[in-house]
């Protein structure tokens, strides 16, 4: 999964949406790890609001300060 996230981050950096594509692996895997954790423990479908929150509240703040 890290390979997919590397591609996403590189493209975002190329578009100027984040300052750099040099992001630690722990940050790259955070969204999918949190998503997997939620799915395994709740055994319920993931709400769209949860996905939005993972990106807007967790992932983007991490990559913007890296």
pLDDT averaged over every residue in the chain: 88
CB 51 within 8 A of CB 57: no
pLDDT tier, 1 (very low <50, low <70, confident <90, very high otherwise): low
pLDDT tier, 2 (very low <50, low <70, confident <90, very high otherwise): confident
Give me the pLDDT at residue 20, please. Answer: 85
Residue with tokens 């390979």: 3
pLDDT at 15 over 90: yes
Residue with tokens 């996403």: 8
């Amino acid at each position: 999964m890290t390979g997919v996230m590397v591609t996403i981050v590189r493209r975002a950096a190329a578009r100027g949406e984040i300052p750099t594509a040099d992001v630690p692996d722990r940050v790259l895997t955070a969204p999918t790890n949190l998503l997997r954790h939620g799915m395994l423990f709740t055994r319920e479908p993931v709400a769209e609001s949860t996905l939005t929150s993972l990106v807007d509240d967790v992932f983007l703040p991490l990559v913007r300060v890296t």
